[in-house]
Structure 1
Amino acid sequence: MKAKDLRAMDEAALNKELQDLLKAQFNLRMQKSHQQLENTSLIRQTRRDIARVRTILAQKAATK
């Protein structure tokens, strides 16, 4: 997900996206622990997407 796309979203949509990403991260971690995950780079990508969403939420909260 690109930062430009995330900045266009409102806070409710960003919070929903954050929850979806956290669930995806959990599922990826479970797959990795059971040796079912083939593409381990998805964990890193998801972690960075979570950080990106949290950063934009913090920026939106600071501008209020």
Structure 2
Amino acid sequence: MRHITAMRHITAMRHITTMRHITAMRHITAMRHITAMQHITAMRWCCLVTDHSSAIHFSFAFHCW
């Protein structure tokens, strides 16, 4: 009985670790995608805004947001 319980526990632990890894990977990918999108938007803002200080402000605001 102890052996079966131990096996189940190991399987459960592996499953949780795998799930966490997948979730973490998805989160990183999502974060990269959001950051890339914000960067593109910030770059567009930089092109639209003529004042250099305003461009920096917009870029900084997007990265913080």
Short-chain TM bin: 0.3 to 0.5
Calculate the TM-score normalised by the size of structure 1: 0.45
More helix by share: 2
Question: Quick check: which has more Rg, 1 or 2?
Answer: 2
Larger relative CO (CA 8 A, sep 6+): 1 or 2? 1
